Structures are given as C-alpha cells and as structure tokens.
Amino acid sequence: MTPSDRDATGLLTRPDDFVQLVTPTGERHANAEFDPWIADIDLGALGRLYRDMAIVRRIDTEATALQRQGELGLWPPLAGQEAAQIGSGRALRDDDFIFSSYREHALAWVRGVAPADLLSVWRGSTASGWNPFEHGMAVPQIIIGAQTLHATGYAMGAAWEGSDAAAIAYFGDGATSEGDVNEALVFAASFDAPVVFFCQNNQWAISEPVGLQSKQHLARRADGFGMPGVRVDGNDVLAVLAATRIALDRARRGEGPTFIEAVTYRMGPHTTADDPKRYRTDEELAEWRERDPLARVLALLEASGVDVAGLEREVGADADRAAAELRAALTTIADPEALTVFDHVYAEPNSHVERQRDHYTRYLAMFDETGAAASETAEGGAR
C-alpha cells in the first residue's frame, strides 16, 4: 500500500487493487497463485460461462420488463453482477449449500430453480419460492445480512456431521455494517466453520455509496476476524471462479472461512421501485459499462480464435428461450386465496393475527366478485 492508494479524504479508494485475470478489453493476465485453480477452463468451458452470464442477463431483463408491465410487484435486478454470481456459483459442488440475499437470481439459475418458482415471490403469490433442500439453496433473504448467520450455523452443522460440504453466504457491501454479519464472521472464525463469505461490493447500498460504508476495502476487514480476505475483480468471471474454488478448498480441508470481496457494480436500480439517477451520475455508469463482465469474455474468446458471432447467435437463441419460459411461467402461478396470508404467521393460534384476519375478512366482504364495492354498511365494519 502506498499513499497514492488513498484519496484526499484518506479513504482507500484505488478501485483496481484486486486480483484480475482478464482485463476489460479481454487480455489474460498470468497469476501464479490463481491460474492453477482454473487450469481446466478451456475455451469450451469459458464459452459455457459466457452462456450462463448471457442467459441470466436476459432472464433479468425479462423480469424487469414483467414488473414494468404489472406482472410482478417488485424485482431487484442483477445486471452487472453476472460474473460475480456465475463465477462463484459454478465453483460450488452440488452438496454445498447457498444462502443468498434477494439479488442472486443467477445462483437460482445455476441451481436449476424453475422460472415459476423464481417469480412467485416477486409476484406476491407465495411466501417463498422453492424447497431449499431440493436445490441446495435457501430462499431469498430480505433481512440484510441474516443469511450469513444461517450459513455459518449450517456450515458448523455440516462439519460436526463429518461432511466436507461447505456453505456460501452472499451479501452486499451495505450488509457488512450489520451486526448479524459481524457476529457470523466471529462465530465462523472461532469454530473454523466451512463457510465462504461472498460479498458482492456493487458500490451502493440503495443510495449509500460504499465509501461511506467503509473507510477501507471491505476485504481488509477479514484480517480483524482472523480469516483470509481476498479482493477480486467481480466482473472477471475467471478471477471469481478461482477465488471461490480456493476458499471452498480451504473450507473442505477444515481450515475455516474465507471472506471474498467481489468488486462489481449494480448497473440498474436497487429494485424496480428505485430511481438511481437521484443519487449517482451518468459518468459513473458509463465508466462501469466499460468493465462489462460479458464483453471481456467475448473479447478473450475472440482473441483466442473462437467464432464469437456464432457463439452469440447460439447463446442468444438459448437466452430468448429462457426468457419466453420465464414469461410463460406466469400462467402457471395461481393467485392465492387472500386470507391464506395469515396462515403461517405463527405455528400456534395467536389472538392478534386472528383479529387481523377478522378485520380483513370484513374488508373483503365490502367487494363483490368483480372487485366493486358491494355495500355501504360493510365499509363501516372494516374500519
């Protein structure tokens, strides 16, 4: 570290202070520590990583459009974070368990979650999307950072059972300020839990920039918890894949957790309910567009003699098919009965919930089956 790593306010802001194997223009940098971990990734495998990223980008675009068309209540776009999610997701073994937040749609893709199951929560049709044990992936966690505790507990349990499977927790830059995340890091370090803490530093926690979240690179916090911290270019799918494989191997060998900071960028809004133009500049967006995770893989493939136009055509057709399946899935999602929203709040009967159910029953009675107000007297009862 040199003084030039710091800006005028003393913050550590040099953005390229990370492991990068493929530059934004597609040049491959040799790295003695990381290269052996991706020695199996030939041009075919690299093409498949590109395919994954292109398909999830298309799924994400389609879901955003579905929200705009009123078919989903909300959608948190992943655009820009494809390499961070696919690179880490493809490093996992089937018996490793994923604990994600709400933006990790690419991990759901990697784990074979059906499109209808992916959408149902965002449509408000179910309380959770899929059976975690069928996919080795917990359903999205909305409470910021809580999943890091779940991952740590799961990992400790797996180790006690004698398994060498690992858990991986996905969380954001903003989540690192949460108590839950810090508690999880302490527990995991103390018990050598086989867990990977995968922080997608996408530069923003809604409208709060990461520079306000932390005075130094997030990966450096790992030191204080007693675990390795690795800072990788999160838009470089090969660097992410290698870093995650290294961390998983360490976990399997019983050496404990690793903290990975994947430096990336959220290209879209925080969710479809957010307008990022209110807090960030077009210049910033343009800068990150230059570091697109898909473009650099195409550039590398092209430089290696691959028919990139052909690949793009083939993958484009697959992506269109995935998007069409996603849209078609809407027709298979049934609207739940309104009153079922109260069914699983508590395992035991609860008088508060019963009272709310009664109120809501009377409220619904105000409308006929077309949704029009049915009677004036029912209105009074709903108040």
Ligand X SMILES: Cc1ncc(C[n+]2csc(CCOP(=O)(O)OP(=O)(O)O)c2C)c(N)n1
Q: How far is Cα 99 from Cα 267, in angstroms, rounded to an integer?
A: 23
CB of 148 closer than 8 Å to CB of 171: yes
- Closest distance to ligand X from the beta carbon of 166 (Å): 22
* Count of residues in contact with ligand X, rule CB under 6 A: 15
Whether residue 79 contacts residue 57, with contact meaning beta carbons closer than 8 Å, is answered with yes
Q: Given the complex with ligand X, which of 209 and 226 has the nearer CB atom?
A: 209
Q: Is 126 in the site for Mg ion (CB under 5 A)?
A: no
Q: Residue 55: name its binding partner from Mg ion, ligand X, none (Cβ under 5 to 8 Å by kind).
A: none
Residue from the set 60, 62, 96, 173 that interacts with Mg ion by CB under 5 A: 173
Q: Name the one range near Mg ion by CB under 5 A: 31-39, 186-194, 199-207, 369-377.
A: 199-207
* Residue 270 annotated as catalytic: yes
Phi then psi for 260, rounded to 5 degrees? Answer: -110, 125
Q: Which residue sits closest to ligand X, CB atoms considered?
A: 172
Task: Say which residue the tokens 């009675």 belong to.
Answer: 365
Q: Quick one: which of 53, 134, 54, 59 has its CA closest to 325? A: 59
Residue 144 site contact among Mg ion, ligand X, none (CB < 5 to 8 Å, cut-off depends on kind) = ligand X
Residue whose C-alpha is closest to residue 269's, from 67, 70, 79: 79
Secondary-structure breakdown of the chain: helix, strand, coil percentages, each rounded to the nearest 5:
50, 10, 40
**173 near ligand X, judged by CB under 6 A:** yes
235's CB contacts (< 8 A; 6+ apart) are: 24, 80, 83, 84, 263, 264, 265, 291, 292, 293, 296
Shortest distance (Å) from residue 78 CB to ligand X: 9
Q: Find the binder of Mg ion among 110, 146, 181, 205 (CB under 5 A).
A: 205
- Residue 98, φ and ψ in degrees, nearest 5: -100, 130
Provide, rounded to whole angstroms, the least separation between the CB of residue 142 and ligand X. Answer: 5
Site for ligand X in 148-167 (CB under 6 A): none
Q: Is 221 in the site for ligand X (CB under 6 A)?
A: no
206 near ligand X (CB under 6 A) = yes
Q: How far is CA 283 from CA 212, 289, 356, in A?
A: 20, 10, 49
Distance separating alpha carbons of residues 201 and 218, to the nearest angstrom: 8
Of 279, 289, 313, 355, catalytic: 279
Q: Using the rule CB under 6 A, is 84 a contact of ligand X?
A: no
Binder among 1, 143, 324, 339 for ligand X (CB under 6 A): 143
The amino acid at residue 264 is: T
Q: Which of 205, 222, 237, 267 is in the footprint of ligand X by CB under 6 A? A: 205
Catalytic residues: 266, 270, 279
Binding site for Mg ion (CB under 5 A): 172-173, 202, 205
Binding site for ligand X (CB under 6 A): 103, 142-144, 171-175, 202, 204-206, 266, 270
